[in-house]
Amino acid sequence: MVTLTDIERESYKNSPIHRLDPRVKLLFALTVIVYVVSLPRIHDKNIVRLLAIEVYLLLLVLVAGLDLRYFFLRILAILPFGLGIALIQPFLRPSFIENYTVYPLDLPLGLSITYEGLAFGSTLLAKFLVCITSIVLLSSATRLRDMVAAADRIGIPREFTLLLSMMVRYLFLFWAVLKRIRIAQQTRLFDIWNKDVSRKWVIEQIGNSMSSIFIRSYEQGERTYISMLCRGYGSGHEKSYYRTKIRTWDVFFLLLSAGCMLYIHLYV
């Protein structure tokens, strides 16, 4: 199981990718996502280009020295959301395609598959895979605090970075509350997979746990916010401890990545 602690531990490793300025890594991830999304819906070279970018991202993962098990587990945890949308595309006939070529295959319930729908679905799945790979790489190689500060410094509206900053704080807070509840349940020999107790009783205990999380998190959130104010939390607090500058290696990485993507787009 991949936990928040594991994700944050990965971001504290020391590698050429980890040492990059957080603004550079954030711009790189945004560039990859914008480029991938802007590719045509249906094109013969889409899959090859997307696979080439995916290979480049995986090379960066190896350079960063990330734990491959945790990395692929995180991707697999997100992938079903895009997989469900992509799998139904071959059976649909969206309006942006004028002419369809039906695949010669007899299916029950009057369903039919088209070549165009199959191409669109596979491209959609490949785009989703590349996007989540870049996001997982960014979050694995960048501390959450640095990511919020970098977003603030590159000009993303303050309202978004404020929400992201609060989400980071309360995400770990909720996780700590959940861990305490799980430890308390384990000391009482509660096992969700125990077949000797009724499912109704287990579901009731899970519901009680969820209610307890909401109540405890609300109360703890109030105390945490007051503590943040006492420690100087306010407008511009992220910039007060984030003073790093763009270095030569950061510029080289940006130029190298831009060159690779340009080469893939023009010659692949």
Query: What tens digit of pLDDT does each residue of 2-19 get?
Result: 566 666 778 888 899 999
Residue 183's pLDDT is 85
Instruction: Residue 119: count other Cβ atoms within 10 Å of its Cβ.
Output: 19
Residue found by looking up tokens 């944050």 in the block: 8
Average pLDDT for 191-211: 82
DSSP per position, the chain? ---HHHHHHHTT--STTTTS-HHHHHHHHHHHHHHHHHS-SS-TTHHHHHHHHHHHHHHHHHHHT--HHHHHHHHHHHHHHHHHHHHTGGG---TT-----B-S---GGG---BHHHHHHHHHHHHHHHHHHHHHHHHHHHS-HHHHHHHHHHTT--HHHHHHHHHHHHHHHHHHHHHHHHHHHHHHTT--TT-TTS-HHHHHHHHHHHHHHHHHHHHHHHHHHHHHHHHTT-STTHHHHH------HHHHHHHHHHHHHHHHHHHH-
Least confident among 80-89, 158-167, 187-196, 233-242: 233-242
Residue 236 — pLDDT band, cuts 50, 70, 90?
A: low
Percentage of the residues of the chain whose pLDDT score is greater than 70? 94
Query: In degrees rounded to 5, what are phi and psi of residue 102?
Result: -75, 135
Candidates 179, 161, 157, 186; CA nearest to 237 is 161
56 vs 243: which has the higher pLDDT: 56
Residue 158's pLDDT is 79
Residue 188's pLDDT is 80
Candidates 120, 123, 132; CA nearest to 48 is 123
Mean of pLDDT over the chain? 83
Residue 217: is its pLDDT beyond 80?
no
Query: What tens digit of pLDDT does each residue of 66-101 get?
Result: 888 888 988 988 888 888 888 888 888 777 777 777
Domain boundaries, the chain: 4-142+253-267, 156-231
Tokens of 118: 């199959």
Range picked from 30-39, 91-100, 196-205, 228-237 for highest mean pLDDT: 30-39
Residue 243's pLDDT is 64
- For residues 192 and 202, is the Cβ–Cβ distance under 8 A? yes
Beta bridge mates, 102? 114
Query: In degrees rounded to 5, what are phi and psi of residue 114?
Result: -115, 150
Residue 54 — pLDDT band, cuts 50, 70, 90?
A: very high
Candidates 62, 53, 84; CA nearest to 15 is 62
Rounded Cα distance, 171 and 138, in Å? 18
Least confident among 159-168, 173-182, 194-203, 231-240: 231-240
Query: What tens digit of pLDDT does each residue of 125-181 get?
Result: 999 999 999 999 998 898 888 888 888 888 888 778 778 777 777 777 777 778 888
Tokens of 152: 């603030």
Range picked from 5-19, 105-119, 233-247 for highest mean pLDDT: 5-19
Residue 210's pLDDT is 83
Average pLDDT for 23-47: 90
Residue found by looking up tokens 């990485």 in the block: 253
Residue 52's pLDDT is 94
Residue 239: is its pLDDT beyond 60?
no
